[in-house]
Structure 1
Amino acid sequence: MDAKVVERARQEGFPPPPPRVGCPVVDLHTHLAGPQPPRWARRLPGVRRLAHWAGWREDPDRQLLAAAWAYGVRHVVGIGGLQAGRHGRGAEPCVHLAVPVSWEAWGDPKGFAEENLRLLDEAARAGVRIVKLWMAPRLRDRLPPPPPTVDAQALDPVFAFVERWEMALLVHVADPDRWFATRYADSARYGRKEDHHRALERRLARHRNVLFQAAHMGGDPEHLDHLDRLLRDHPNLVLDTAGTRWMVRELGRDPTRSRAFFERWHDRIGFGTDQVVVREPEPHRYALRYWVHRIFWETDLRLPLPLEDPDAGQPVLQGIALPPWVLESLYWKTPRRLLASAGLLGGGT
């Protein structure tokens, strides 16, 4: 492994390596913060209210969007509330909001439906066309019974709304295998990984007219044979590549097999990073992650991963060198088609 490549990139602030393709890039999975009160106002409730009333704002999303633009990203799906909405301002990507389902009223089916239908109606009328459904097993630690599942009856009104408005659905359904062996070892509480995927399949079958974007390679990059079957059986399913450490760790284990999978399903996988905006980011936080993705997808380099990975021991960045025609589908053609299905971009290729 050539650590000098990583150190040189770090010293230079992780500038974009030369791209292998010239198409625009769509990042289908980021987390935005929206305007925030200034630092000095955050810990003083009265001053915080004054800052809100006076329109004093900081823009924590700006650094992420600037890094995205430098890496050729021209459209971003940003998960966040309506306050995070923005149009492309000069040298930054166009943001397409994905509004998350609220879990505050879980346990009260009537209240849960009313709260979310109000939220989604407001979002839809503001032009939002993507809904985020976060169903990670650890959600069960935060909610009263019954345990939430993708096919839960309480979610039926949400899916009916999504289908009626012809929206897309971004769903997080599962986490890494090793988490199910450790933090989710209590299967009676958290369910088994296959249980979560079966619930997703039941929902996919019930809503053939809804396009599902399953985050983090469907939550199962460890098992490409399983993803083969999911994609074959459910034509309304698209995967995204969000999750920098997870994707690098699992897909980099066998570059040849991973590359063949992406070639086989090039029109069903879209690029995503899972970048998360933080208020006080460390230097080059966002550029670093885009740099890792470019090296991983576009080269066959084997480097030390310049990110800590508590699930990987000594983390390695092993590129899988996708061919240009697959990169064009990953970065642009598939994401564009997904956004077009929700009325956000023109279709075509």
Structure 2
Amino acid sequence: MLSVHETRIEKPRFPLIDIHTHISFSRGEKMQFPATPEELLAVMDSCNIRMMVNLTGGRGAGLREAVAGYDRKHPKRFLTFTEPWWSKVNEPGYAKFQGDEIAKAKADGAHGLKILKMLGLTVRDKDGHLVKVDDTRFDPMWAACGDLKMPVTIHVSDPLAFFEPIDRFNERIEELGNHPDWSFRGKDFPSNAELLDARDRVIARHPKTQFIVLHVGNFAENLAHVSARLDKYPNMFVDIGARVGELGRQPRTARKFFDRYQDRILFGTDATPKGKDFPQQYFCKELYQIYARFLETEDEYFDYAPAPVPPQGRWRIYGIGLPEQILRKVYYGNAERLLGLRS
């Protein structure tokens, strides 16, 4: 019954760079492409999307295929990141191999490295133990990214609710009820705090490497925690992908966060084409309209995703009305700097 002002935004105010999309998926060196570049460009042009950064660009032959099909076919509209060879992590000499692969990936056209939450939660050693995020086998990889000026986008952990019991006290009970395999409660999974601490040790060990910690530092529910890490690690940045639902339910705190870290926050959505399991991330015009409404207006109590049911939790969000100076940085300026796109 609430009656409040509603701002209709057709597209974001400025041409944006979406630093966090998934327009290809790798199975070894084989790639899957859910949508053609032409299909994506049609939506991009209608949504004022200047560039999409495809984080899951694979490795080896798959990476080369992704770069050829997107980046080189449509210059300045797509950029592709590479991924580690998790399948080789237990082979002798992996540390040097993976470090060397970063240089090869850059030569093949990769602009950065993507770390999925597999590290710390699913990748296992030869004895069946989970490989830790700060395992020293990855140090040559992090160092190579720093030397080659390739930013690392890293997803560690998940919403805090995913580590809690799936019961009536869990604010994401419906989401986890639909996807019980997303829960990391029990078994031999580390805690949320253990994962974040391990990530922090990596960032501290490699000050020359730029880390874009995805999903608002993987702890959007606790911006004080994220702020403390940003203050401590000057080589840490964050994106807002798939977290406007979290940011928008704490609008005053979020507005202060954007003001203080306006040079360290990047626009991202975690968008994926035809993502039936991820309605809050489905690549469509409505998704970008919601992000723009959150960032550009002070509208109250609106849906945070273009989904028929609450995809994450039963709440609504509020806009934070950023000024033009900050909007330009978040929409494209900070990404330009980190990706080396400024002439």
State whether TM-score is above 0.5.
yes
1:311 aligns with 2:312: yes
Check whether the contact 1:252–1:317 (CA below 8 A) recurs between aligned residues: yes
What does residue 292 of structure 1 align with?
290
Larger radius of gyration: 1
Match of 1:152 among 120, 130, 135: 135
DSSP-derived class of the 2:82 partner:
strand
Letter in 2 for 1:257: T
Alignment CA distance shift 1:3-1:149 (3 Å): farther
Match of 1:168 among 138, 151, 166: 151
Alignment CA distance shift 1:265-1:280 (3 Å): closer
Alignment CA distance shift 1:69-1:251 (3 Å): same
Superposition RMSD on alpha carbons, in Å?
A: 3.3
1:64 is displaced (CA, Å) by: 3.1
1:17 aligns with 2:44: no
What does residue 125 of structure 1 align with?
107
What does residue 96 of structure 1 align with?
79
1:129 is displaced (CA, Å) by: 2.3
1:113 is displaced (CA, Å) by: 5.1
Check whether the contact 2:215–2:238 (CA below 8 A) recurs between aligned residues: yes
Check whether the contact 1:2–1:304 (CA below 8 A) recurs between aligned residues: no
Whole-angstrom CA distance in 2 between matches of 1:58 and 1:290: 19
Which has the higher mean CA deviation after the structures are superposed, 145-154 or 220-229? 145-154
Aligned positions of 1:1-349 closer than 5 A:
17=10, 19=12, 21=13, 23-33=14-24, 59-79=35-55, 80-81=57-58, 82=63, 83-85=65-67, 86-87=70-71, 94-108=77-91, 110-111=93-94, 114=97, 116-117=98-99, 119-136=101-118, 139-140=121-122, 145-182=128-165, 183-186=183-186, 189-243=188-242, 247-278=243-274, 285-301=283-299, 302-305=301-304, 306-307=306-307, 308-313=309-314, 315-340=315-340, 345-346=341-342
Alignment CA distance shift 1:235-1:101 (3 Å): same
Alignment CA distance shift 1:72-1:18 (3 Å): closer
Whole-angstrom CA distance in 1 between matches of 2:105 and 2:203: 23
Check whether the contact 1:213–1:238 (CA below 8 A) recurs between aligned residues: yes
| CA displacement 1:32-76 (0-9 Å, x = unmatched) | 1289xxxxxxxxxxxxxxxx9xxxx99534333332232222122
Whole-angstrom CA distance in 1 between matches of 2:129 and 2:147: 27
TM-score (norm 1): 0.77
1:295 is displaced (CA, Å) by: 1.5
Whole-angstrom CA distance in 1 between matches of 2:66 and 2:247: 32
Higher RCO (C-alpha 8 Å, min separation 6): 1
Whole-angstrom CA distance in 2 between matches of 1:293 and 1:255: 13
1:179 is displaced (CA, Å) by: 0.6
What does residue 39 of structure 1 align with?
none
Whole-angstrom CA distance in 2 between matches of 1:137 and 1:76: 24
Which has the higher mean CA deviation after the structures are superposed, 329-338 or 159-168? 159-168
Whole-angstrom CA distance in 2 between matches of 1:213 and 1:33: 20
DSSP-derived class of the 2:229 partner:
helix
Aligned sequence identity (%): 27
Higher helix share: 1
DSSP-derived class of the 2:130 partner:
coil
1:312 is displaced (CA, Å) by: 0.4
1:223 is displaced (CA, Å) by: 0.6
Whole-angstrom CA distance in 2 between matches of 1:30 and 1:213: 14
| CA displacement 1:308-333 (0-9 Å, x = unmatched) | 334303x4243222222221111122
Alignment CA distance shift 1:143-1:274 (3 Å): farther
Q: Which runs of 5+ in 2 are unaligned?
A: 166-182
What does residue 170 of structure 2 align with?
none
Q: Which runs of 5+ in 1 are unaligned?
A: 10-15, 36-51
Letter in 2 for 1:124: K
Letter in 1 for 2:19: L
Letter in 2 for 1:126: D
1:18 is displaced (CA, Å) by: 5.5
Whole-angstrom CA distance in 1 between matches of 2:327 and 2:47: 14
TM-score (norm 2): 0.78
